[in-house]
Amino acid sequence: MKEDINTEEISLVELFHIIWKRKNLIITLFIISVLSALVYSLLSPKIYSASSIILLPSEKGTSGLSSLLSSLPVNIGLLGGITPGANFVAILKSRRAAEYVFDKLKLDNYFEGKLREEKIEALRKIVRITSNEKENTITITVESKDPKLSADIANTYIEALERTIGSLNISSAKRERIFIEEQLKRVEKDLRIAEEKLKNFQEKHLLVDIDSEAKVLINNLADLSAQRESCEISIKLARRNLDDLQNMLMEQTNLQKKDILAITSLTYTSSLNEWREKLISQEVDLALLSLEYGPEHPKVVAAKASVDMTKKVMRDEIERISKAIGNYSLDKLFSLQLEIVFNESKMKALDSVIKKYEKKLSQLPSLGLELGRLMRELKVQETIYTLLTSQYEQAKVNEAKENVTIQVIDYAIPPTKKSKPSTTLNVLIAGVSSIFLGIFLVFFLDFWKKFREELKNMERA
């Protein structure tokens, strides 16, 4: 045991002796490395880092397709967790944001490169976007040779984010408000035309009014037509939302257009078609009973319950199909598709009832018939206008609720100290590395010396 200890001590002494013999090599290498690192750090261009920090909107405060997707459960890897933060990071990393900053700050002469694309790519390389999910923040960090420019670029990226969000119209409530606004303008124009036509007819034929029975008929027709127009507007809006959702799914997942169409076509299975035909028949009965008895009559209440029950069965069938596919992230697609089916069924039912009432209206004398039609058209436009006005006000409220505002915690300021190169760190790394390299060279040279001596001894022998 003592011999082993002595051998180990001798080995350590020998190793130290080898290093000590060539200590000058290690010291020289150390001095050269440290001086080289020091000179490099002093002569290298100074890089300044500036950062701006923004606070993400809470997911409770966001809606629209973007937040809709973020709330969808993930299954079979089809959709990642799409959060407001992920959307903001994607926008900040986009070429569109870089182009805005490049043009706003006129950086054409700052970056090297012959082509504009090369210079924009160089800008994107000095920008780092990081998100902190725990703190719910995004940090925009810019590194450049000019401290003021670093701060300007970081702050201008915030402007780019605000402008991009506004131009993309990612708010579903905003799209709904714009759509209803367009419809409202159209109906307002149609209402003025209807009023003018009725006025001109009455002045020309000196026919001001019709009998009470015809008035009831016209009011019923107007109500039915207004309901039909409402269904048509709902279908258009649902189809817009459906297209937007499909496009977003294709952008953020590996789904193709044909795959989405194949999935949504499942709402037209044979079993659902049978229920849809039944729903149309029930909607016809409901419309007729409502006109005859009023909305509070027991027969009307029973008819509404039947319609609701049929819709529930169809929703349950869609849920069963979703489970069979194994992906709940497509629920909203099915929901929008089903909403279209419900409104189309109601439209068909209303068309059937409207034809019956138009047949009764056509039995009026020619002048009375024309007056009745004009009065009906005016009544329809008035009803639709009232309906759309109410929906428009609600859409404005919804838009105000889901407006995304960028909350800036810290704007970037020009840094006073450089971030790169770090002289202390470079010298430390160079010094430590040179010591290890020197020790390696010492042992290698000692090994090489002994190896050559052995070769010479072998040759002599």
Given 111, 136, 170, which residue is the final one in a domain? 170
Please indicate, yes or no, if residue 7 is contained in any of the structural domains.
Answer: no
In a domain, 166, yes or no: yes
Say if residue 230 is in the same domain as residue 330. yes
Q: Both 250 and 278 in a single domain?
A: yes
Indicate if the pLDDT at residue 5 is higher than 50: no
Could you tell me if 353 and 434 lie in one domain?
no
Using the predicted structure, report yes or no on whether residue 404 has a pLDDT greater than 50. yes
Query: What's the whole-number mean pLDDT along residues 15-23?
Result: 77
**Of 170, 202, 232, which one is at a domain's C-terminal end?**
170
Q: What pTM was estimated for this model as a whole?
A: 0.49
Q: Is 430 within a domain?
A: yes
pLDDT interval class at 126 (50, 70, 90): confident
Is residue 91 very low, low, confident or very high in pLDDT (cuts 50, 70, 90)?
confident
Q: Cα–Cα distance between 265 and 270 in angstroms, integer? A: 11
Least confident of 76-85, 111-120, 125-134: 76-85
The pLDDT of residue 66: 43
Looking at the domain assignment, is residue 88 inside a domain? yes
Mean pLDDT of 110-114: 79
**Across 155-169, 359-373, 377-391, least confident range:** 359-373
Counting Cβ atoms within 10 Å, is residue 34 exposed (0-12), middle (13-18) or buried (19+)?
Answer: middle
The answer to whether residues 221 and 297 belong to one domain is yes
HEC string of the chain equals CHHHHHHHHHHHHHHHHHHHHCHHHHHHHHHHHHHHHHHHHHHCCCEEEEEEEEECCCHHHCCHHHHHHHHCCCCCCCCCCCCHHHHHHHHHCCHHHHHHHHHHCCCCCCCCCCCHHHHHHHHHHCEEEEEECCCCEEEEEEEECCHHHHHHHHHHHHHHHHHHHHHHCCCHHHHHHHHHHHHHHHHHHHHHHHHHHHHHHHHHHCCCCCCHHHHHHHHHHHHHHHHHHHHHHHHHHHHHHHHHHHHHHHHHCCCCHHHHHHHHHHHHCHHHHHHHHHHHHHHHHHHHHHHHHCCCCHHHHHHHHHHHHHHHHHHHHHHHHHHHHCCHHHHHHHHHHHHHHHHHHHHHHHHHHHHHHHHHHCCCCHHHHHHHHHHHHHHHHHHHHHHHHHHHHHHHHHHHHHCCCCEEEECCCCCCCCCECCHHHHHHHHHHHHHHHHHHHHHHHHHHHHHHHHHHHHHHC
Average predicted confidence (pLDDT) for the chain: 77
Is residue 36 in a domain? no
What is the pLDDT at residue 77?
33
- At 40-58, the pLDDT tens digits run 777 777 878 888 998 876 5
User: Quick one: pLDDT band at residue 261, thresholds 50, 70, 90?
Assistant: low
Q: What is the CATH number of the domain that holds 80?
A: 3.30.1890
277 vs 176 pLDDT, higher one: 277
Name the pLDDT band for 69 (thresholds 50, 70, 90): very low
Whether residues 183 and 324 fall in one domain: yes
Does residue 414 lie in a domain region? no
Range of the domain at 302: 172-407
226-243 confidence digits (pLDDT tens)? 888 888 888 888 888 777
Q: Are both 368 and 383 inside the same structural domain?
A: yes
CB 138 within 8 A of CB 131: yes
pLDDT(445) > 50: yes
pLDDT in tens, 203-227: 776 655 666 777 777 788 878 888 8
Residues 145 and 217 in one domain: no
**Domain assignment present for 38:** no
Question: Is 314 in contact with 279 (CB distance < 8 Å)?
Answer: yes
Determine the average pLDDT of the residues in 401-425: 77
Q: What is the pLDDT of residue 207?
A: 58
Whether residues 153 and 211 fall in one domain = no
pLDDT at 273 over 50: yes
Query: What is the reported pLDDT for 86?
Result: 67
> Both 365 and 444 in a single domain?
no
Q: Is residue 69 part of a domain?
A: yes
176 and 166 assigned to the same domain: no
The reported pLDDT for the residue numbered 155 is 92
Tell me how many domains the chain contains.
3
User: Residue 410 forms beta bridges with which residues?
Assistant: 53
Most confident of 53-62, 216-225, 253-262, 293-302: 293-302
Question: Is 403 in the same domain as 456?
Answer: no
Residues 182 and 162 in one domain: no
What's the pLDDT at 64? 43
